Amino acid sequence: MLLPQPFTIQPISHALLAEKGVKLAVMRLDQIHAAVSGNKFFKLKYNLEAAKESGKSTVLTFGGAFSNHIYATASAARSEGLQSIGVIRGKDVDLENPTLRHAQKMGMKLHLVDRDSYRKKDSPEFLDLLKKEFGDFYLVPEGGTNALAIRGTSEILGKEHSEFSHVCVSIGTGGTFAGLASAMENHQTLLGFSSLKGDFIHGEINALLEKHEIKPRGELAIRSDYHFGGYAKTKPELIAFMTWFYAEFGVPLDPIYTGKLAFGLWDLVGKGHFPKNSHILMIHTGGLQGNAGFAEKTGIELPRT
């Protein structure tokens, strides 16, 4: 079983919070494991147990060239004594980028596929082809979201967090949001910030909750207006905010997920969105490994720890 390291729930103090009469703390899941960071730790933990129980020696999963999920799966599989295969989107990706270099160092076999084939990755035909090429494997879906992942992420929140009135988290596939939704208490609001452009996320989350029969206590809300142009898109304003946030509070952020979450959250505090006496918990879902690749691509160095 993957073992967690202790992490802090870091209180944040700032004049704006005092002025608005709210409290804020950051759950530093980026500290939970050196290489299986953030929400990926929770999404993978039961999946790897299931892989071992099924008697399979290999896990296979999918992702982009800078994927936190690929990075985490490679590390987690190795530490659990499993082989891993990463099916990577794009024939032209740089196998020497920091994410893929790490994955290979962890023993992950990489299989590059063109973008058209990648889109068909969930089809039985495509999976059959992969089985012919690599032998039998335990399949972890892209982004790692399935029932076992949701069971894992539901463990992020417990009774010890009932002092919080609002829980804020970033949304990619929504698996983490769904797990948290299943762990909420009546007096809590779960607020998700989508990293992707588009209102489709509302329907997607509803479908996910329905599929996994999650009937949340408390309230759910989703913001789809802090995506900064779409998935993996950034703006100077976002980078400037992240740099300020680190200087002010010592919390490193990534530009894909947690930066957008922190920006949106801080913006909403300023706009008086949270009632007086709210106690807000921001879940830091990790993703800092991606800052190395971001620096290579853009020349912008963001703190990684």
Ligand X SMILES: *Cc1c(COP(=O)(O)O)cnc(C)c1O
Which residues contact ligand X (rule: CB under 6 A)? 38-40, 68-69, 143, 145, 170-177, 254, 257-258, 285-287
User: Looking at beta carbons only, is 47 or 173 nearer to ligand X?
Assistant: 173
Whole-angstrom distance between the N-terminal and C-terminal Cα of the chain?
Answer: 25
Rounded Cα gap, residues 251 and 304, in angstroms: 9
User: Looking at beta carbons only, is 56 or 216 nearer to ligand X?
Assistant: 216
Least separation, in Å, of the C-beta of 90 and ligand X? 19
Least separation, in Å, of the C-beta of 106 and ligand X? 17
**Residue 49 near residue 151, CB atoms below 8 Å:** no
Least separation, in Å, of the C-beta of 230 and ligand X? 15
**Residue 19's CB: how many other CB atoms inside 10 A?**
11
User: Looking at beta carbons only, is 17 or 29 nearer to ligand X?
Assistant: 29
Residue closest to 85 by CA, chosen among 146, 136, 147: 136
Least separation, in Å, of the C-beta of 132 and ligand X? 29
Least separation, in Å, of the C-beta of 43 and ligand X? 6
Tokens read off for 275: 């009632």
Partner residues linked to 14 by β-bridges: none
Concatenated DSSP letters of 237-260: HHHHHHHHHHHHH-----TTTHHH
